[in-house]
Every structure is written in C-alpha cells, then in structure tokens.
Amino acid sequence: MRPLRGVPLNEKSPLTDTPAWRALLAHHKTASTLHMVELFNKDPQRFKRYSLTFEDILFDYSKNRITDETLSLLFDLTRQAKVEDLRDRMFSGEKINNTEGRAVLHTALRNRSNQPVFVDDENVMPKINAELEKMRGFSDKVRSGQWIGYAGLPITHIVNIGIGGSDLGPSMICRALQPYAHHSLTVDFVSNIDASHIDQILIKLRPETTLFVISSKTFTTQETITNANTAKAWFLNGAGRVTHNDISKHFVAVSTNETAVKQFGIDPQNMFRFWDWVGGRYSLWSAIGLSSVLYLGMDNFIALLEGAHAMDQHFCNEPLETNIPVILAMLGVWYGNFFGAESSAVLPYDHNLRLLPAYLEQADMESNGKSVDKKGRQINYSTGKIIWGAEGINGQHAFYQLLHQGTRLIPTDFIASVNSHQCNPTHCSILASNFLAQTEALMRGRTLEETREQLAAADIELHKAEKRLPHMTFQGNQPSNSIVLKKLTPRTLGSLIAMYEHKIFVQGAVWNLNSYDQWGVELGKNLTKKILEEIETNKNLHQHDSSTQGLLDWFRTHRTEEVKNNIE
Ligand code: G6Q
C-alpha cells in the first residue's frame, strides 16, 4: 500500500471533533429536509434578511438552504477557526504562508490608504508606490505614442507572455474592462507552449509596432521563457534592420528575478518588479498588471485597486454576520462539508466576464486543493471544491440540464450587471430575464402537480402526459447566490475579485490549510524535464510505467514519421 499523504492525524481533528462542527452536523439532519420554496413561503422578508449591498454590488444569498440557525452555527465555526485572527495576521504582513516562509500581501498592493505594512521590519508601501509610479510613467508614454519603436512608429499591439497567475488575472481584467481600453491599442495573451498559440498571434502583428511584456515571477517558467525566446527571434528575424539594442524598445519584463531578466537580454530599466510575498495567482494587482495598465490606462487600474481596497476594508471591519466574503465562504463550507457537494459553478451573465470562471478555477483550486493541514497532518474532511463555469446564457443551452435535473447538488454563483456598456435595451432585458428566471427555476423547481397542469393546458393527451411527467418535473432546491453589479466598472471588478480572494482565504482558514503554496504543480514539472530529455535525445533514460512508456514510444514513432513526411 502507498503511504498516506500526510502524517496521520492521531489526536482529535481540530475541525471535525469540535462543538461547532458537531452542532452543524446535527443541524444538517433537519436543514437538509427543508425546501427553499417553503422557506420563502414562510418568510416574505427572506430576500431582505438574506441580502446585502456593498457599494454598487448586491449580494443576494436568500436562495440557499439555510435558516438563521444555519448561519449562526456557521459563524460559530468561523469563530472557532479563528478566521479573524488569521485575517489580521495576513493583512499585517505576518508570514502566514508557513511552508514557504512568506508573507501574503496582495492586499498591500492595493492598500490605497497607504498605511504602513511591514515585512521583516521594512514598510513595503514606498516600494509598491514607486512601482506604480513607474508603471504610470511607462504606460502614459506608450499610450500617448511617445514610446517609439525601432522604426520610429508608436506601439499599437501589446503581447503579454506569461502563464498561470502571470496570465489569467491580466487577461481576465483586459477582457472584462475592454470598454475602457485605449482605442488604438490591442492586447493579446500568449500562455500555451503549443506554438500554435504564439504563431496565431504573431501572424497578425508587425514587429515595428509590437511591445512584448514578458510576465513571470520566477523568470524560469519553461513555457514563458520558450515563448519569449520565440517572440525575440520573430522580432530579430522579421524586423529587417534591427539590432539587439532595439530589443529594449519592444520587450519589457515583469518579474522578481532581475538576474534572469538580464540574462534574457532585457535591460533592468525596462523591468517592473514585484516581490516574493505576492503569490502568482494573487499577482494581478502588482506589476503583473502591466499589460492591463497599458491597455486600460493607469487611472482605470488605480480604480480597480481602489475597488479591491474597499472590499478589503469591508472584509476587515464588517462583523461576520454582514461580511460578504465570510458568508460566501461559509455557504461553500456548508454545501461542501455537510451536503457533500463536490463542485460549485460560476455563471456570469455579462459577456465581458467570460474569463472570470477560468480565473477563479485557479484562484480557488490552486489555493485550497490541499489534503494536509498547515502542520502536514492528513485531513479527514473535504477541502477545495471543483470550481467551474462559463457564460450563463450559453450554459443554459448546454450544461444547465444537469443543474436542473441531475442527481448532484451544485451550488452556483450567478453574476450579472444591470447596465451593459453595450446599451441595447432589448438585449439587456432578455439577458436579465434569463438570469432571473434561472435562479428562480433552480430554487422552485416544478412539482408533479404543476407539470400535470401545464401539460393539460397544452392539450396533451392524458396517457402521453402521464408518461412524460417524471421527465418534466424539477425537484428544485438548488442553491444559488446572485451577485449583481450596477455596472461592470474597474472599481466593481476590483471589489468582485477581492471578494472571491477573501472567500478563498476564509475557507482555507476554516479547513486549517495553507492556501498560499502550490506544491501540487511541482511533480509534473519535474517529470516533464526528464521526459523532454528522452524525447530530445530519442533515448530511454528513465523508468516509467508501461502506459507512460507506451505513450512515449507511440509519440516518438509517429513524430518521426511526420518529420519524415515533411522532409519528403
Ligand atoms: C500561481 C502559481 C502559478 C504561476 C505560474 C507562472 O499561484 O504559482 O500559476 O503563476 O506557474 O509562474 P511564473 O510567474 O513564475 O512564470
């Protein structure tokens, strides 16, 4: 047998062997039998009681399988887990990322109050502010056309090369805030090592008007450095009379690793910095946001930071009972740990938020996909849920069937904007109606009797109708949160993202795990290096299981034939 993943937990579990957990377990027995339709019928004030507003955002959590007692017990659990204490330690710069010995300070990057924040006795605010100023100076030059490329032309295309946390945040922001973008700049994101990705982008571009932003915290990531080298070769070979000196006009770096940036050939003057206390998936607020700053302008980026800061203040100061990230997190704990929900869907009803689900998949699953606690002890309860999603309106014509009539409990977050930037009242109203109808349908369902009446009204013959009945009834009782923005602006987007970051934080704190490391990505990276060597040398150098060896052999055989065919 393979050994357990962590040190076995011999003593009592600090989470499940506790009064708060046991009380929730007992409460679940009755709560799980309640239907939300009954809860709404009993309490006409339910929406009022279970919804909150934060600036221009409405958070409606009334369509959840909860009562006052549920919430009160969930807050007991939050208190028992000392979430507020950990929150304060994170904000103050304590090294709560214990496995890497690092502070977790993405909140300092958007600390618009400018109150000092200390890491190892150094106030980090001056260097954060200096970097923001540098980003402003550079982006103003590019956006105003003062930054001139090697051929004397201004920049019109930005290409961000990065992956994971150095890609998903900035790309999501650029797409979300596209209505705020500079009218004559385009932005593309290259992440995949599959050359199809970079090739499909480069083919549209001209070297003389393109600026590459190489975004990598470590500046050693294989995919990013390979793509950056391909971009450099494209620039040097495709641009006619260019020299290595011209690289400085078309390549800038965002990183924590100055040595590697220099080695790549980028002048440190063209380097934008951030620090090891910024986790990759939390780095969009740092210089990793440079491509968004170039595209959207510094003022919009500052508004994004301000929105996030406002949510930070809410998270730090609001009592648990009215604290939006806390409620969101604890509802997730309720369904994941007590109802056994395996996944949770994010369903934006705003086309510009189409990349948000992918962004949250990383933010949440890389943070809380852990099976040992902070002390390395094996965990005996479920942790991070599978986060997935897509644009809601498209999902309705695709996977919503399973949400409505499948066998699984899948809590959902609906995110909608009241006012679109594309002001077309017909489209807006149809979109809004769909969003509202879906949350209602998921909650209400449709009883046998209601279905029978509907079929009768449609004049369906009785014997046919009776056969269809079980297929056409909906059990309902599927929980959802509705997060409604007056409009998707830099500020509301900043608050929305920060809300999810804090939700993830609270869940990690309750589950007593380190949300800020990601050792799970290491193993695959190491094996890749070994297999690459075997592919490049065409030799078997390492032991593999028969499946991996078989796949490798098949790949090599067919690759060789392709190459042969190409040569012929
Ligand atoms: C995020 C992860 C990961 C990281 C990428 C890119 O928290 O650590 O997604 O962002 O692997 O890393 P670099 O920025 O170092 O290239």
Q: Cα dihedral angle (496, 54, 429, 421), rounded to 10 degrees?
A: -60
Rounded to 5 degrees, φ, ψ at 81 are -80, 0
77 C-alpha to ligand 1 centroid (Å): 32
What's the pLDDT at 244?
A: 81
209 C-alpha to ligand 1 centroid (Å): 28
Sheet holding 57-60, edge to edge: 51-54, 57-60, 480-487, 412-419, 343-349, 386-389
Q: Is 226 in the pocket of ligand 1 (CB under 6 A)?
A: no
pTM of the predicted model over 0.75: yes
553 C-alpha to ligand 1 centroid (Å): 31
What's the pLDDT at 266?
A: 94
Q: Is 280 in the pocket of ligand 1 (CB under 6 A)?
A: yes
What's the pLDDT at 559?
A: 82
The residue nearest atom 2 of ligand 1, judged by CA position, is 280
Q: How sure is the predictor about 567, in pLDDT bands with cuts at 50, 70 and 90?
A: very low
CA dist., res. 148 & res. 540, Å (int)? 50
The residue nearest atom 16 of ligand 1, judged by CA position, is 216
Q: Is 286 in the pocket of ligand 1 (CB under 6 A)?
A: no
CATH of 14-80+319-443+480-516, one of 1.10.10.10, 3.40.50.10490, 3.40.50.300, 3.40.50.2300: 3.40.50.10490
pLDDT surpassing 80 at residue 160:
yes
Q: Please write the tens of the pLDDT for every residue from 242-291.
A: 888 899 999 999 999 999 999 999 999 999 999 999 999 999 999 999 99
Q: Is 366 in the pocket of ligand 1 (CB under 6 A)?
A: yes
Minimum-distance ligand 1 atom for the alpha carbon of 362: 9
CA dist., res. 362 & res. 168, Å (int)? 8
Q: Is 281 in the pocket of ligand 1 (CB under 6 A)?
A: yes
218 C-alpha to ligand 1 centroid (Å): 8
Q: For the chain, what percent of residues have pLDDT higher than 90?
A: 90
HSE-CB for 375 with a 13 A CA cutoff: 9
Name the residue type at position 153.
L
CA dist., res. 513 & res. 13, Å (int)? 13
CATH of 142-303, one of 3.40.50.10490, 3.40.50.2300, 3.20.20.140, 3.40.1160.10: 3.40.50.10490
CB 278 within 8 A of CB 255: no
Q: Is 518 in the pocket of ligand 1 (CB under 6 A)?
A: yes
Q: Which residues contact residue 185 at a Cβ distance below 8 angstroms, ignoring those fewer than 6 apart?
A: 142, 143, 155, 156, 157, 158, 294, 295
What's the pLDDT at 562?
A: 60
Minimum-distance ligand 1 atom for the alpha carbon of 282: 7
373 C-alpha to ligand 1 centroid (Å): 22
Active site positions, annotated = 366, 397, 525
What's the pLDDT at 464?
A: 87
Q: Is 164 in the pocket of ligand 1 (CB under 6 A)?
A: yes
106 C-alpha to ligand 1 centroid (Å): 15
Q: Please write the tens of the pLDDT for every residue from 360-381.
A: 999 999 999 999 999 999 999 9
CB 465 within 8 A of CB 452: yes
Domain ranges of the chain: 14-80+319-443+480-516, 142-303, 445-477, 525-567
The residue nearest atom 11 of ligand 1, judged by CA position, is 164
What's the pLDDT at 6?
A: 55
CB 510 within 8 A of CB 333: yes
Mean pLDDT of 142-170: 97
Q: Please write the tens of the pLDDT for every residue from 207-227.
A: 999 999 999 999 999 999 999
Same fold across 14-80+319-443+480-516 and 142-303? yes
Q: How sure is the predictor about 462, in pLDDT bands with cuts at 50, 70 and 90?
A: confident
